[in-house]
Amino acid sequence: EFRNRKNGEPTQVRMRDELAFGLGNRWELDLYNHTRYDGTSQNQTFEQKGFSYEFRYALADWGKIPGNPTLYFEHKLFDGRQGIEPKLLLSDRIGNTDWIWATNFIWEQNLGGGTAEDKEKEFAVTGSIGKVINDRLMVGLSTHTRKYYYQTDNCNRCTEFYVGPAVNLKITNRARLSFEHMQAVSD
The mean pLDDT of 37-57, rounded to a whole number, is 79
* Res 165 pLDDT > 80: yes
- pLDDT tens digit string along 106-130? 998 888 766 666 667 888 899 999 9
Nearest to 72 by CA among 103, 97, 42: 103
Q: How far is CA 175 from CA 40, 93, 150, in A?
A: 32, 22, 37
DSSP-based three-state secondary structure for 119: helix
Non-local CB neighbours of 14 within 8 Å, separated by 6+ positions: 1, 3, 34, 35, 36
pLDDT at 60: 97
d(CA 100, CA 170): 16
Higher pLDDT, 10 or 172: 172
Higher pLDDT, 159 or 97: 97
- pLDDT tens digit string along 10-33? 777 878 888 999 999 999 999 999
Q: What percent of the chain has pLDDT over 90?
A: 50
Amino acid at 177: L
